[in-house]
Amino acid sequence: MNVNSKVFIFGSRNITNGLNLSILSKIIDVKAKVLIGDCKELDTSMQQYFKDNNYTNINIYYSGKICRNSVGNWPKNSIYSSYPAGTKGFYTDKDITMCLDCTNAIAFWDGKSFGSYNNILKLKTLNKLVAIYVNNEIKVM
C-alpha cells in the first residue's frame, strides 16, 4: 500500500463492536485514497475513525440519488443502479464499481455476510489483494 493506492474498505453490517480499526492507521500513514460506502453500521464507524484522525483522502460511494450516511465533508460518488432502491441488486452495483475502482481492499467479515463474500470473490477475480479480518485476525488473499 502506498500513496497511489485506492483502498476499498468494506465489511459485514453487523460488525460494529470490538473492531480493531488500527489497520486503518496504516492507510493514513501512507496517505492512500479510501473508498468507502454509506451504510450506517460498519461504514459509518470507519468514516468516524477517519474523521477523528483528520484524514481527508476519502471518497464515499452510494447507490442512487441520496447518500445515506457521511460523517465528513468528503467527495461523494453516486452509482446508478437499474434495480429498485433498497434491494440487494441496488447496492451490489455500487460494490462492483468500488471493486473496479480500487487497487486493493480491506474486508471486515463475520464469515457469514453474502455481500462481503461476493466482494471478496469479485476482487480476487480482478486479481486485487484483499486483507480479510475475521474476528480481528487477518487473512490475506
The domain that holds 83 is classified in CATH as 3.40.50.450
Residues of the chain where predicted confidence (pLDDT) is lower than 70:
16-20, 136, 138, 140-141
In a domain, 87, yes or no: yes
In a domain, 73, yes or no: yes
Strand, coil or helix: what is 124? Answer: helix
For residue 16, the model assigns a pLDDT of 64
In a domain, 123, yes or no: yes
Domain that holds residue 39: 6-140
In a domain, 124, yes or no: yes
In a domain, 109, yes or no: yes
Using one digit for the tens of pLDDT, what is the confidence trace for 4-34? 999 999 988 777 666 667 788 889 999 999 9
> What is the pTM assigned to this prediction?
0.91
For residue 134, the model assigns a pLDDT of 83
Distances (CA, A) of 111 to 24, 65, 85, 115: 20, 31, 26, 11
In a domain, 1, yes or no: no
**List of residues 6+ apart from 54 with CB closer than 8 A:** none
The rounded Cα 135 to chain-centroid distance in angstroms is: 17
Count of domains forming the chain: 1
